[in-house]
Amino acid sequence: MAGSHRSPRPFARTANAPPSRARDATAPFVRASLGATGDPPYRVRGARPGAFTMEQLSTANTRFAVDLFRTLTENNPTGNIFISPLSISSALAMIFLGARGTTAAQVSKIFYFDTVEEIHSRFQSLNADINKHGAPYILKLANRLYGEKTYDFLPEFLASTQKMYGAELASVDFQHASEDARKVINKWVKEQTEGKIPELLAAGVVDNMTKLVLVNAIYFKGNWQEKFMKKATTNATFRLNKKDTKTVKMMYQKNKFPYGYITDLKCRVLELPYQGKELSMVILLPDDIEDESTGLRKIEEQLTSEKLREWTKPESLALIEVNVHLPRFKLEESYNLNSHLARLGVEDLFTSKADLSGMSGARDIFISKIVHRSFVEVNEEGTEAAGATAGIAAFCMLMPEENFTVDHPFIFFIRHNPSTNILFLGRLSSP
């Protein structure tokens, strides 16, 4: 399903817009969403100084990330998958700012916002942490609202999205110049993602019925803490399944990395830190291809947010010498998230049943499309990604050196270590 993914991006339309039009709309790239908050109208309270913890938000975001990943794997059992779950959650949190009633309840449940105290304040703090200056990597999460210039949005909604998510409202003329508005939106997304997502919205995605487009873009570029030497990269065989192979550029290095092993799944875990060690790529690699597809079926069937955190937490990994063979790869995936979110339980948001009265004071808009588009490139220097995210001594002694040869399909994610939020999550079946 590599060609059917995109960064989330929602389009709000008037409720009397033909449902078929809403369903047929297509949009590309990054992530875009509308904002909404639970029932209490815009009560945005700040987190208590000194008592703030990101654990609740991280847990909620990880639970949603795994839920969505499993839904995508069911729909696409063997192909590549790549998403930015944090980008999607952040975008939907803005929709949640303006949602009311059943619509708010569905979004809150599926994204686990109901398990997080002061959800919007926590996102505000996370955004500040992610976008901090002076880091040895580039990581930015950007939000913007594009509203029909003749449509009245509640000042409280606009103030809250600006305060909590840094999302300013740009007035555009969807009614008379929707194509120009589309180009303006795409230009902003392209700038925010350093050109990696040049066209979030395909032609025809917005039209004269569009009232609001909420865009969320995430961009990451980081160098490895321990770089791969280009002269060590060679041609190698990557096994797609038990029968098929392809030739890839295989990078190599030998160094000390956090490493673990999941015995019951016969799966290796490797953490590759980026410079500064605030971000890491974590790879889950089965020992071999044991099923008739990618070899990942057992892991995907057993994957839960709790297990993922347990398998990959620092206490579960030992710092040992590892011979790492990792293919260069580049992924670009786009998704229409409507059907996937509906399967998880977000149903009213995409129909005239939607209650987004926290945005406009009326019940005349709904989300016609949430598209998510994301991009990642991994090479000897490090990783570029966009989406529009201590050892055990005894264990070290038992296993002084390991081989970690990534020559068959694997699951990987990029984690923001201070908050343990998953910025990007993917399955690489074919480099």
CATH architecture of the domain formed by 10-222+331-377: 2-Layer Sandwich (3.30)
259 contacts 270 by C-beta, under 8 angstroms: yes
CB neighbourhood size of 344 (10 A)? 18
Q: Per CATH, which fold does 224-328+389-428 belong to? A: Alpha-1-antitrypsin; domain 1 (2.30.39)
Distance CA 377, CA 430 (A): 13
For residue 69, the model assigns a pLDDT of 97
Range(s) for CATH 2.30.39.10 in the chain? 224-328+389-428
Listed in order, the ranges of the chain carrying CATH 3.30.497.10 are 10-222+331-377
pTM for the complete prediction? 0.84
Return the ∠ at Cα 190 (arms to 368 and 28), rounded to 5°: 30
Provide the pLDDT for residue 393.
22
Spatial distance between the Cα atoms of 320 and 267, rounded to a whole number of angstroms: 17
pLDDT reported for residue 341? 94
Specify the amino acid at residue 23: R
Let me know: does 95 contact 349? Beta carbons within 8 Å: yes
**Cβ 425 vs Cβ 58: under 8 Å:** no
Q: CB–CB of 193/388 below 8 Å?
A: yes
Residue 294 DSSP symbol: S
Identify whether the C-beta of residue 69 lies closer than 8 Å to the C-beta of residue 372: no
Question: Which pLDDT score, from 0 to 100, does residue 33 have?
Answer: 29
Residues 6+ apart with CB under 8 A from 74: none
Regions in the chain scoring below 70 on pLDDT = 1-53, 386-400
Cα 128–chain centre separation: 17
- pLDDT at site 388: 63
